[in-house]
A and B are shown apart, each in its own frame.
Chain A
Amino acid sequence: MLYEVFLQPEKFDKNEWFILIAGILMMILFLFTDRRISVLEIVVIWVINWFMAEAADFSIAIPPFDFYDFNDSPKYEYFDFFLFVVLYPCTAYLFIHYYDKWNLRGKLLIIYVFIYSLLTLGLEALASVFNVFTYKGWHLIFSFPVYLVVYIINIVIFKFERKHIHKLNTELKKV
């Protein structure tokens, strides 16, 4: 029974290779970005994006909604876990990293969110070519507004966290 807790892929084929290679590439990108984001901020970005991905995928991709399948079976597999823990948070981390680095505001920020959402949509399209996603009632274009919302939430949370951490640091300096 324990081996059913996390299932092995039915067949180790192109979707697993895609997740593995994309995951490694994303981790390399993550490791080679300059360290302007603190450990605390990285943990927050990671947890929030893991939460959002899992909340969406394990709500609308399973019965009774069942809009799409990811990977080999509708059940929870090792590679689903890898997808949630590595791919989604890494993509969001890179988004926040460049948002902070380029100090984007106003129109530039809107353009940045729009372009990054399009890039993520491209990544999703590529993933669906490799059978990571199999759409049943969903369409690729539906994901675009979802990515816009996800990246706006990421900015809001990043600002919220920075504000609170800054406040905490100021209070600690006074003590």
Chain B
Amino acid sequence: MSDNLTSRKIHPRNLTARADRWVRGNPVTTRPESGVDNCYPGLEFDQRNLEKRFLPGLEFEFHLGGVPPLLRAVDDGRAGRALPFRPTDFGGNPADALFLWAVFGTFGAAAGPVGRVERFGGQASGLWAWRALHDLEPGPVAVLLAHMTEEGGIDLEPATNLTAEAALLDGNDVAGRDEEERLTFAVIAGTRCDYLVDGVINPAIYAAGDLTRSLCAPWQYDFTDCGCFYWASNKPDLVAVDEGAPQIYNFQRMRRGEGEERPVAEVLADRAGLLTIRGWDDRDPDSSNRILNHRELINDWQRLSPVFEATEARAFTPHAPTELPPGRILSRAEVLKRLRYLATVEHSLMVEYLYAYYSVAAPRIAPDAAGAARRNYDVARSVLSVAIDEMRHFRWVNEMLRELGQPLELGRVEEFQDLDGDGRFIPHSFGLKALSAARLDWFIEVEKPSARVDPALGQDTIDGLYTRLMLSIRQSGEFTDDERARLTHLVKLIIDEGLDHFTRFSSVKATLAGAPGDWLRPGFADAPLPLPDGHPAKAAEIVADRAYGTVLTTLGFVFSASNRRTGDLLQAARFAMYALDDAAHEAIAQGGAPLFTTPAPGAVVAAAGARGAAATPAAMLEQAIVAPMQAALADLRARGGAATVASMQRHYDRLVAEMAPLLQ
């Protein structure tokens, strides 16, 4: 069975399969092997429910501690025959309850399956019985059911007992009755139910909700039934306590000291500092002084307030958006200045991220197997994806500048600046560094959302700068409605993506947390200097620099084009970036590194400005983009980089072909 469990899968591959309205394949929760094994009674379903129908026609309850499994229901239909019970056997009187005292069948054991009778009662009750039945192998099985004595045991007359034991071993359906026709015992035989079909829990045996029935669920049991204290992974394990009583677990240690216990709700509200202490139940003025008890959680969970924007409230009241105090609103001139500054920041960050990306010892093609190479590949891709986003931010900031009638900004900044002169900025010198743990921490720091920064003490993050820009544009009277709509939209996009960058870098950090520090390319230097002439990688280094210049020149065209064409142009600009990527990898392969040397001041804008001079856009692109590369490429070709040169040449051809018609 275990082979079956681990081999079954259906995974959607192409787009129509992925977009299928009925998602094909089974959700992981239907697969028992996906369960978290060290959790009782289970995360995906309550494991105690798994064996409750181990014999077709009978349903047991394993939830009662200290007693054998309780017979909960009988079903002739499921048994496929009339079971030897009468309606009067189940009178509803506690004394009528039938328990499972013995099972005859084949049980799994270390040395192989063994046919034997397993008996329950006394110590062998509750979960012990469930565990024993879990080992019951497929095949014939018979069970002995009988009432429980007041002492908690089974007590059959000797003759009756003999009959019952014989029936158990013979595997016959038998109902023993006394002179008053009252049921004394029942033996029911059958075939052990296989609860899986094709590796998946059999829906013919378990209806929806059967297995999760008694699972800990928020607002239902609120984890009071959680048999362990498994908070670290899936369970936000807030255990309800009775009013006035100490908490159940107290971190699993003895309490120290005396003192009155404060209600948990009050403590939480106090700590949040923002919430007024409010009762969970409007109709109960005292409810603010205590938290729900177990019974209330089950019966009255729906009386709890819903949560709007992380706050419990009876109704949703939209509140005024955050506003800047008048003294903090930036003037139009200041907004322009900051946008220009932020364009240089985005560009500098992009270069830092790209260099970090190249520093990771990752293969260019995703490796199959899990392992260090695959991990490095994933890490590099994450960093690259953020670099690509920064390119987009760089574009959006330039679009905003253009919207406001300003020239482009394609430069880089070298240091973070204290824009307000209040000392609240992150001191940082931009430069090329490999993706060390410290470097990653810096990436996380700079992308941190401003809401996580203490407004009184923390530094202005990038997010904070954009937030202030957005609010200023919104509140300032110096912008037209059109400008305001367009600019706030773009700033909002950048802010939202910044949060995503923070998350992605944080997850890179988590990925590398256990790694032995071997993810970097050996010898990949921080702050690399240009190689001396004659170095084998010199030609590749120069090509990489020129390719970076191409990217900037291309972006110059993209940013200066009309809105309608920016998207298409950016697609064309991707070919410049592919060429840069080829060049950077070639430089690395030859023992160098991409330097991202800033082209001579004005060169890029001058190239973009050369548009009018050439006869056609294509001729102009040739002149501005392709021609400056040729000598460097020829040099690289001579130095054994022919494959890279061919690939770059193709990217340049595509670049010109895609872009020329768009510039007409």
A and B held together in a complex: no
B-to-A contact residues, CB < 8 Å: none
Question: Which residues does A use to contact B, with CB under 8 Å?
Answer: none
